[in-house]
Chain A
Amino acid sequence: MNLWHVPEWSIRRRVLAWLFLAMTLVFSANLLSSYYSNIEAADRAFDRLLLASASAIAERTVVSEDGLNVDIPYVALSMLASTAQDRVFYSVSAPDGHVVTGYEDLPLPKKIDNDALLDPVFYNSIYKLASVRIVALRSFVSGGNLSGYVTVQVAQTRGDRDGLIYSLLQQSALWMLVIAIVGAIAAWFGVSIGLQPLERLREALGRRSPDDVRPVLHEIPKEFKPLVSAINGLLHRLDGGLSSMRNFISDASHQLKTPLASLQSQTEMALRETNPDDIREALVKVNISVGRTSRLAQQLLSHARATGEANSFSNLNLAELVGETIKILLPEAVAKGIDLGYDGDQTAMLQCDRALIGEMILNLADNAIKYSPAGSEVTLSVRMADDGLHLIIEDNGPGIPAQDRQAVFERFVRLQSSAADGCGLGLAIVREIADRHDAIIALDSSHGGGVRVQIVFPFKGTGVA
């Protein structure tokens, strides 16, 4: 398991894990260093005793008439009786090197400098299968025809030293354990205390009413500042969305009010009429108004969908979709005496939302038909180009003056010069849908003086076949 990529780990757990890691490193280093210093301390303490024993033997080593004589004092060995009951070995060697008394084969120090060295030498070795600490002491004796340095060696197994080393080590390990536990407890509560401002923030946000989108202004530790400013950014965008939605709703109700009011007056008029021909005439007017209102409602719905939740994208042939739209509008175009046609590639794959793009094509073509006089031409085309997929709708109608070309994309804007009846939502919807698809809309004049709308879907990744 990757320790650093477990998102569900609590902060407390993360802090403790880091603490554990750091403490393990520090404690291992500490134990290692105290192990070596303990060995040194234990050796210092016990070497003195070993030396005292060797000195006591050396002191009682004399030259008598029948050669070297060693009278080992009782205390020399009994003083080495230790709590760990270590084994004791000793030997005394004459100046010529032969062992006078004691254990014959006690290991000698690696380097023994014959006469110059008078300081005792302490060293570790293995003797009789046990690890031992040995002191070698040289002492000058003289008498008769013998004079020179005798070597006294006293060795002791390491039981007591090791016992001391481990008890010291145990002590420091115990202290480290205490530190680790206190550290862990401190970290445990420290995390709770450190996270308290976040808890206060949570409470404050929880208390808010659903439409309260004011920025959060709480005093907060600097670690949380980026989070709070991200929340504030989100609230700000939410605020923008909410107010545009409110505007849209009020605009939409306003727009629906006018046709409904005219419908009401038309129906009232029809009710007053007694002549069946007049009633019929009034009903025809009502019918036209209902159609217009229904179209408005349809467009409001499309607009809401275009700005609403995420859409489902799929890969489809745009040329085919354009063809289908032409089929839908053909009766209307024929009725108005307009030549509606297609000119472009047969296959142009695009990653898009089918319903939205269909709505977009329908709106643009419908607009072109509506605003063009009888006998005009409306041409739709789809083409692959270097920079992306081009969808072009052009007519040879009256066109839009250059200064108005930005305004037509705003909601509910209708040009004064316009003859046909529209609600002013069509191009706003087109722009929303284009934004959704990261497409670019350009509006300019066609060759025939009419309107030319060009929408470019730039290539991205594998979306375009």
Chain B
Amino acid sequence: MRVARLMILFILTGLLLISGIGSTYAGLVRFEAAGTSTQRLVIYSSTDVDRIEPLIQAFQEIFPSIAIDYHELDTLVIHQRVVEETDIGEATADLTLSSAMDLQIKLVNDGYSATFFPEETDALPAWANWRNEAFGFTYEPAVIIYNQAFAPELKSVTSRFELAKKLSDRSLNLQNRVVTYDPEQSGLGYLFGTQDAVQSEDFWYLARSLGDSGVKLMTGSAAMIDKVASGEALIAYNVLGSYALARARENPDLAITVPQDYGLVMSRIAVITKTALNPQAAGQFVDFLLSRKGQELIAGKASLYAIRTDISGEATAKKLQEIAAGPLIPIHLGPGLLVYLDRMKRKDFLSRWQRAMERR
């Protein structure tokens, strides 16, 4: 029995172009079934296809009759498409995998999800399962990365307060060489920013410092890491630890710091849609993501940080908890995540963010 042949068909959807960030998303990739295809599982996901590929291949080894249509989409587009397609009665994804925890919670809260009881529910931390409808399957810290070849002195940046201090230090010449997520353009950036604001009022002090240093706002972790790797930027704040770790393995210049004051941890969320045409295959995929085998692949080839604490390796929750100098704060699934999706709250947050940025 052999793995599915990989047929990659890049189809840029018009939808993706709207936001202008579509360029980084690959669109539709088809993984045909090795055996006679009897089922087709449609996934809308915000995870890069090359990160998820080893998982899909291993899944298709177990279920050779399941073909997978993998739509790589932006988190906002995932949410929007599921809601619109369900409302007008069109076929939508069977399964959504998104890093926008808040949008996934909104999907569940607004009734677009199906209940599913994973085989290994007990292996999942309580905060990562909401209503048996939303399941976290990764444990990815938001980290600070810097280029230790160009700026070794940034090793002392171990907390947000230290970072703000360094940014004000004109002698370090960090002006215009700092990058972070753009909360207006990126769902994940917005989630990190708002969660930072929930944790501490000091966040706004950091935001003002970032604005003062002429921070460059970006829409993806990969692009931020590119900037730091090339030396165009020296330091990046709130980069996805999973992407950083993968790159740091190849590039020794990249150094990763989990802030000591607290390390925000995000989890990719799997949600099976209410109107899924193939809920059984979607459930099998969720079960696979949470299984030992799936989690080992997440910790290994995919390097997305396994959420299960009974998996060891570098990219695992267990390892992260061992090496973290400060508390790790996972973003809990629950109605609290709906707060920053409130349009007034969003408007307030973004206008406050813009006021901080205006100082650039």
Chain A residues proximal to chain B, CB less than 8 Å: 69-78, 80-81, 85-89, 100-102, 128-130
Contacts and interface: CB of A to CB of B under 8 A. Distances in A.
Contact of B338 (A73, A86, A88): A88
B336 A100 contact: no
Chain A residues touching B, majority SS: mixed
A100 B131 CA distance: 29
A130 B111 contact: yes
A71 B348 contact: yes
Contacts of A72: 339, 342, 344-345
A87 B345 contact: no
A70 B131 contact: no
Contacts of B343: 101
23 contacts: A70-B342, A71-B344, A72-B339, A73-B339, A74-B198, A74-B339, A75-B336, A76-B339, A77-B335, A77-B338, A77-B339, A78-B334, A85-B131, A87-B108, A87-B111, A87-B131, A87-B335, A88-B109, A88-B335, A89-B109, A100-B344, A101-B344, A101-B345
B338 to A, nearest CB: 5
Nearest to B129: A85
Nearest to B133: A85
B111 A77 contact: no
A94 to B, nearest CB: 12
Contact of B336 (A74, A102, A128, A129): A74
Contacts of A85: 130-131, 334
Nearest to B334: A81
Given A72-B342, A87-B108, A87-B109, 14 more contacts: A70-B344, A70-B345, A71-B345, A72-B339, A72-B345, A74-B340, A75-B336, A77-B339, A78-B336, A80-B335, A85-B130, A88-B109, A88-B335, A89-B109
A74 B57 CA distance: 41
Contacts of A78: 334-336, 339
B110 interface: yes
A81 B335 CA distance: 6
Nearest to A84: B131
B138 to A, nearest CB: 20
B271 to A, nearest CB: 14
A329 B316 CA distance: 128
Interface of B: 108-111, 130-131, 198, 332, 334-336, 338-340, 342-345, 348
A130 B109 CA distance: 10
Contacts of A77: 335-336, 338-339
A93 to B, nearest CB: 13
Contacts of B130: 85
A78 to B, nearest CB: 3
Nearest to B346: A101
Which residue, B108, B334, B348, has most C-beta atoms of chain A within 10 A?
B334
A84 to B, nearest CB: 8
A430 B108 CA distance: 104
B339 A129 contact: no
Interface centre among A69, A71, A74, A101 (most CB of B within 10 A): A74
Contacts of A80: 335
A72 B198 CA distance: 12
Contacts of A74: 198, 336, 339-340
Nearest to A71: B348
A73 B342 CA distance: 11
A130 B198 CA distance: 30
Contacts of B339: 72-74, 76-78
A88 B348 CA distance: 22
A85 B130 CA distance: 6
A445 B14 CA distance: 137
A75 to B, nearest CB: 8
A70 B345 CA distance: 7
A86 B335 CA distance: 8
A128 B106 CA distance: 13
A158 to B, nearest CB: 13
A298 B131 CA distance: 103
Contact of A102 (B111, B342, B348): B342
B344 A69 contact: yes
A70 B344 CA distance: 6
A100 B344 CA distance: 8
A72 B130 CA distance: 22
A100 B343 CA distance: 9
A86 B109 CA distance: 9
A77 B109 CA distance: 12
A129 B334 CA distance: 20
B171 to A, nearest CB: 38
A448 B130 CA distance: 122
Contacts of B111: 87, 128-130
Contacts of A89: 109
Contacts of A86: 335
A70 B348 CA distance: 9
B335 to A, nearest CB: 4
A115 B69 CA distance: 56
Most B CB atoms within 10 A — which of A69, A77, A89?
A77
Contacts of B332: 81
Contacts of B109: 87-89
Contacts of A102: 342
A81 B339 CA distance: 12
Nearest to B195: A74
A85 to B, nearest CB: 4
Nearest to B338: A77
A305 B7 CA distance: 114
Contacts of B110: 128
A253 B124 CA distance: 106
Contacts of A71: 344-345, 348
B343 to A, nearest CB: 6
A101 B335 contact: no
Nearest to B130: A85
B34 to A, nearest CB: 38
Contacts of B335: 77-78, 80-81, 86-88
A57 to B, nearest CB: 10
A184 B211 CA distance: 79
A6 B203 CA distance: 84
Contacts of B345: 70-72, 101
Nearest to B343: A101
Contacts of A128: 110-111
A69 B198 CA distance: 19
B40 to A, nearest CB: 27
Contacts of B338: 77, 88
B354 to A, nearest CB: 15
A77 B345 CA distance: 13
A80 B335 CA distance: 7
